[in-house]
Amino acid sequence: MASTTPAAKHFSARFIFALSLSVLAALLILINLWFTLTSLLPLFPKPKPDPNPANHLILFSEHDEYENLSHSYDALWNSLLPQTGGFVLRLDENGTQHKYGISMYHSLHCLIMMRSAIQGLYGEIERLNGGENMAGDHDHGEHGDPTHWLHCFDYLRQTILCAADGTIEPPRTNPEGKENVDGMIERKCRDPALLWKLSVDSYV
């Protein structure tokens, strides 16, 4: 068996050392590339853009047709809701169809229902007063005017439409076993305390 010469041993050692350095360098390059690429990625997934951003400038203004209780404007109020009532239909994992609400239309529905209830009360007052009209148009510019609240219907209508809250409200099953959308769900909301503080602090 031929013996390994000192020169050959020296060459082998140098080759192994060079190979080790090459492997180590390659690993360092790969590690550096990995950190570089991962640092370019966000730590959290980028939020999806708002499908309905607040980019429509609308001037709020007075609308007499929305500031009275006359039944002649009932159709106008009812037209704020689409023929679907503002609901959306969705299928669950079993393929069963359910009716979900949309917050904006739910809010408008509540406002329409409140107006209808007050219409009924005013109708009863008119009957007791011998038919005197209490639900027509009024000049209610002053806050102390007893009919100033009629302005609130129009203001709330415009505010609801401006906010256009697209929160989807799932149905709940009531004790009778029927599904109902009541909107009582968890939501991500702004902090009203900040506006309270803004108002109070301005008077200090």
Q: DSSP letters along 57-96, please?
A: -------GGGSS--GGGHHHHHTTS-TTTT-EEEE-TTS-
> Is the predicted pLDDT of residue 113 greater than 60, yes or no?
yes
Single-letter residue type at 107: S
DSSP tally for the chain: helices H, then strands E: 5, 5
Measure the CA–CA gap between 183 and 107, rounded to whole angstroms: 10
Could you say which DSSP state residue 120 is in? H
What gap in Å lies between CA 132 and CA 127, rounded to an integer? 8
Better-predicted residue by pLDDT, 48 or 159: 159
Mean of pLDDT values over 114-123? 94
Nearest partner of 149 among 111, 123, 110, 109, judged by Cα:
111
- φ, ψ of residue 144 to 5 degrees: the values are -80, -10
Lowest-pLDDT choice from 28-32, 91-95, 159-163, 165-169: 28-32
High-pLDDT (> 90) share of the chain, %: 55
pLDDT of residue 49: 60
Least confident of 48-52, 124-128, 158-162, 190-194: 48-52
Q: Taking residues 177-185, report their average pLDDT.
A: 93
Non-local CB neighbours of 136 within 8 Å, separated by 6+ positions: 68, 69, 70
Determine contact, residues 161/60, Cβ cutoff 8 Å: no
Instruction: Note the pLDDT of residue 28.
Output: 54
pLDDT at 155: 97
What pLDDT is attached to residue 129?
84
- Maximum Cα–Cα distance for the chain, whole Å? 131
Distances from the Cα of 125 to the Cαs of 84, 108, 135, 202, in angstroms?
A: 34, 26, 10, 42
Q: In angstroms, rounded to a whole number, what is the distance separating the alpha carbons of residues 172 and 37?
A: 46
What average pLDDT does the segment 155-165 reach?
A: 97
> Quick one: average pLDDT of 8-32?
55
Q: What percent of the chain has pLDDT over 70?
A: 67
pLDDT tens-digit series, residues 133-148 = 655 555 444 455 667 8
Pairing, β 168-169 against β 172-173 = unpaired
Amino acid at 156: L
CB 114 within 8 A of CB 121: no
Mean pLDDT score, 149-163: 96
Give the model's pLDDT for residue 137: 53
pLDDT at residue 18 tops 60: no
Indicate the average pLDDT of the chain. Answer: 80
